[in-house]
Amino acid sequence: MPFTEAQVKSLDAKLDSKHVKTRQVQDSVLTYVEGWHVIAEANRIFGYDAWDRRTVSTNCVWSGMSNRQSAAAYTAKVRISVRAGPITITREGCGSGEAKAQTPGEAHELALKAAETDATKRALATFGNPFGLALYDRELSGVRNRKALERHGQAEERHAPWVLRSETGQPKRSFDTGEAFLQALKQAMSAAPTIELLFALWEHNVETVRALNRQHKGLRAPRSLDPQALVAHLKVCAVTFANPKTAPREEERLPKMPNLTASRGTPSTKIDKSVLTISEPKRIRSKEHLRFVAKQPCVICGRTPSHAHHVRYAQPRGLGLKVSDEFTVPLCAIHHTENHATGDERGWWKARKIDPLSIAKTLWQKTGGEGGAQYS
């Protein structure tokens, strides 16, 4: 056996939850171990002079400006060599990193370091739980005291600041409580001067509403924090623009607003969509088309594999509803994450001089939406 008994015992041990960090990314909570801790564990288990790290290759996949700052994205491959007795065990890992800074040099340096750290963690993770291997298991069975980790993740989401964005996607105000955020969004929707700005306001805040919806379901928040009621409010505001005379007054409709999260047979209130100037858009779902799009190279950098990215401004978005699958384009993991992180998707595409809707139309014509199901 190349490793000593003590080393094997350390590699088989569970990962202590106090070393696990969490962060919110779109609709998911990601768990990770920090780079410095992984290197410290390698020194502790293997010995300071018994292992080496070498960067095999690096590649700058994108650089440019983002929100008036220099930005860059890198990929890297790192090789880890561990000397165990008379043999040397070699593992490799690939990672990516992106960063923003005031100067191009600083942005490239930070992105490159992030990519090398990510690759190092992936390579070392193959040795065992102390390096983060346990986090690849959804049940986290290799994490000690994982219930404390789950409570910590819920607490982070519960106390996250809630940012209200304007119709252009720029941060407008932040609130300490979800209730204050929902009330402010509701008032902003009521004050929207046009139906276009109403839907733009909804589009730029729907991700935050979804986060509140998850909290409402998982943490049993009071009815005043029910974000689903905003869906009904959005429809009523849209009806107001279509036909102000037929739209119900605020005091008439609020007591009758249904709790859309209930599933106890209570009949839901329907809005007469025939009075809308803009009819309800059709949303088509086609797994075959999404798989086809994901097989195409990234439209930004040409890398594969890709993700099927839904162009969010192609249709008005609803709670829990993506735009139709016909409005999808291939993006690599790095550019897909970057796109979702921006508050102005139109500006993001415009800065790259790319029309995603024309690309999506071409891809849709190639498959014809094979196997798709259509609904409103």
pLDDT at 255: 41
Domain boundaries, the chain: 5-146, 160-261+270-275, 283-375
Pair type for strands 20-25 and 162-165: unpaired
What's the pLDDT score for residue 173? Answer: 84
CA distance 254 to 231: 12
Per-residue confidence in pLDDT tens, the chain, 376 aa: 589 999 999 999 999 988 888 776 655 667 889 999 999 999 999 999 999 999 999 999 999 998 888 999 999 999 999 999 889 999 999 999 999 999 999 999 999 999 999 999 999 999 999 999 998 887 788 888 876 665 555 444 445 578 888 887 777 888 877 778 888 888 888 888 888 888 888 888 888 887 777 666 544 444 545 666 778 888 888 887 766 554 444 444 444 444 434 444 444 444 544 444 445 667 888 888 988 998 999 898 888 888 899 998 888 765 557 788 899 999 988 888 888 887 788 888 998 899 999 999 999 998 875 544 444 4
The model's pTM: 0.46
| Residue 123: predicted pLDDT | 96
pLDDT in tens, 62-103: 999 988 889 999 999 999 999 998 899 999 999 999 999 999
pLDDT of res. 218: 44
The pLDDT, as a whole number, for residue 151 is 56
**Which distant-in-sequence residues (6+ apart) come within 8 Å of 237 by Cβ?**
189, 190, 192, 198
Residues in CB range of 32: below 8 A, 6 or more apart? 20, 21, 22, 23, 121, 132, 135
Q: For the chain, how are helix, strand and coil distributed in percent, rounded to 5?
A: 45, 25, 30
User: Which residue matches tokens 């202590």?
Assistant: 16
pLDDT of residue 110: 93
pLDDT in tens, 168-214: 777 788 887 777 888 888 888 888 888 888 888 888 888 888 777 76
What pLDDT is attached to residue 18? Answer: 87
216 φψ region: left (φ > 0), alpha (ψ -120 to 50), beta (else): alpha
CB half-sphere exposure, 154, CA atoms < 13 A: 14
Can you tell me the distance from the alpha carbon of 343 to that of 25, in angstroms, rounded to the nearest whole number? 14
Furthest CA-CA distance within the chain:
86
Q: What is the dihedral of CA 138, 142, 144, 146, to 10 degrees?
A: 10
Fold exhibited by the domain 5-146: Enolase-like; domain 1 (3.30.390)
Closest CA to 273 of 244, 236, 248, 245: 236
- CA atoms of 195 and 209, how far apart (whole Å): 19
- Residue that has been written with the tokens 């809005």 in this structure: 271
